[in-house]
Structure formats: C-alpha cells, structure tokens
C-alpha cells in the first residue's frame, strides 16, 4: 500500500490532531531517566494495547522482504532466511506509548539494528532514517537513535513470535522514544541526509518524540 492511501482524514487521525492542538496528556512535569523509570504523564499497564491505523497486513514469510536503501554503501534486499541468518540478539526493554501507557520488562528477540547497519554501511552523509511499513505507514528518526544499543528489529516478544496485530513477523523497537517511532510490519529502511516527516509527524506529532521531555506533539 502506498503512503498516499493512508487514512489521514480518518476519525482516529482527526482525533489525534485535536489531541495535538489541545496538548492532551501533557503534564509539564520534568523527569530524569536516571532518577525515574516512568516518564511524566505515563501510567503502567500489564497487557500490550494494540494501536494502529486499523489495518493489519498479512505478510507471509515466503514473500517477506526487508529493503535497506538510500545513503548506504551496500543496499540490501533480504528475504526471511537471509534476515534470520544475521546475528540474533535478546534484549529486555521498557516501552512508552504517546497515548500515556508504559509497559516494563519486554523481552525481545531479533536482529539488533547496529548489526544490520554493519552490513549496509551507511555513508557519511546519512543522518536520518525513514521507516516504511507494509501498511504504508512511515515514521522518521535520527540515525543515531535508530542505531541505539537497545534498538532491535524484533521477531519475538516474551519468547513467542510476534503476532500480526503487534507488527509480526517483524517490527522495529526503539525503546527510548515514544512507541509510534517503532514501526510495525517494517519493510523498508531508507537512510536519508535531511529529516523528513512520517505519517504521525505530518499529523501533529513531534518530529523526535522523547518521552522524558514529553515530546508528544509538534512544536509548530
């Protein structure tokens, strides 16, 4: 599906634009990661809420591909077997959603982003990434954040393969940013020189999305 086909005038999108305009959920309270585990304005949950654009693409492993394109020395187009042949890593992280829920101690398995980038070899001009999903969703983030030590391209959660509703067979997980930056059903990683807004960033959300600074919404 093309990005132009995404429902930017859907009820969900209109609602979240209104949240951005009103500053919904903002507390104004400062918190420091070294002192607190729960960012300001967040509450803990034990389940894992499902939030998306209302589409759960079916991506069979037989046809699954991950492309790494743009400002890299070695563009990649990996099938599932090639992706699984990359070094596998297990990590435990917290996650924080812009809609105010957080969940502690999520166990992931998959390919660490740094290990994939070691193969693709970003060129010096690469500064940002734009993540593309199979449902047409996009989101942007700085390359240094995408390559953080705990950023992972996850295929498993809590010891089980990722379910379709949570982005299976593979999704990005960048735990130090709000979770809309962790694209589900990831299909293409585009390395770029200048920042470019993704879907929610065009619809009122912050270009960076640091939970500890409550960067929920655009500053414009």
pLDDT digits (tens, 9 = 90+) for 111-163: 999 999 999 999 999 999 999 999 999 999 999 999 999 999 999 999 999 99
Task: Indicate the average pLDDT of the chain.
Answer: 89
Q: Considering the domain boundaries, does residue 160 fall inside one?
A: yes
Considering the domain boundaries, does residue 31 fall inside one? no
pTM for the model? 0.84
What are the helix and strand counts (H, E) for the chain?
Answer: 4, 11
> What would the pLDDT profile of 24-72 be if each residue is shown by its tens digit?
555 555 555 555 899 999 999 999 988 777 778 999 999 999 999 999 9
pLDDT value of position 113: 98
- Domain holding 98, by residue range, is 3-26+36-213
Q: Is 132 within the bounds of a domain?
A: yes
The answer as to whether 120 is a domain residue is yes
CB atoms within 10 A of CB 43: 8
Greater model confidence, 47 or 1: 47
Q: Give me the residue label for tokens 């589900």.
A: 184
- The CATH number given to whatever domain includes residue 174 is 3.90.420.10
Q: What is the DSSP string of 30-83?
A: ---TTT-SSPTT-EE-SS----SSS------TTT-EEEEEESBSS-EEEEHHHH
What is residue 92's predicted lDDT score, i.e. its pLDDT? 98
Report if residue 168 sits inside a domain. yes
CB 181 within 8 A of CB 174: yes
Q: What is the pLDDT of residue 24?
A: 52
Task: Provide the sign of the torsion angle of the four alpha carbons 195, 202, 216, 56, taken in this order.
Answer: negative
Please state the domain count of the chain. 1
Q: Within 13 A of 203's CA, how many CA atoms are on the CB side?
A: 22
Q: Kindly state whether residue 220 falls inside one of the protein's structural domains.
A: no
Give me the percent of the chain exceeding a pLDDT of 90: 79
How far apart are the C-alpha atoms of 83 and 220, rounded to whole Å? 39
**pLDDT for 139:** 98
């Amino acid at each position: 599906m093309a990005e132009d086909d995404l429902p930017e005038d859907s009820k969900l999108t209109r609602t979240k634009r209104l949240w951005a305009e009103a500053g919904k959920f903002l507390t104004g309270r400062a918190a420091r990661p070294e002192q607190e585990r729960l960012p300001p304005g967040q509450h803990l949950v034990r389940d894992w809420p499902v939030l998306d654009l209302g589409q759960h693409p079916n991506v069979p492993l037989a046809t699954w591909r991950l492309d790494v394109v743009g400002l890299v020395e070695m563009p990649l187009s990996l099938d599932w077997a090639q992706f699984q042949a990359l070094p596998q890593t297990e990590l435990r992280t917290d996650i924080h959603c812009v809609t105010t829920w957080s969940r502690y101690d999520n166990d992931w398995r998959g390919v660490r982003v740094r290990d994939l980038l070691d193969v693709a070899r970003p060129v010096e001009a690469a500064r940002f990434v734009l993540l593309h999903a199979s449902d047409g969703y996009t989101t942007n983030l700085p390359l240094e954040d995408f390559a953080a030590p705990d950023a992972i391209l996850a295929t498993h959660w809590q010891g089980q393969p990722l379910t379709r509703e949570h982005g299976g067979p593979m999704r990005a997980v960048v735990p130090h940013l709000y979770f809309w930056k962790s694209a589900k059903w990831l299909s293409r990683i585009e390395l770029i020189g200048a920042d470019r807004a993704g879907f929610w960033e065009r619809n009122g959300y912050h270009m960076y999305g640091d939970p500890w600074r409550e960067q929920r919404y655009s500053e414009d």
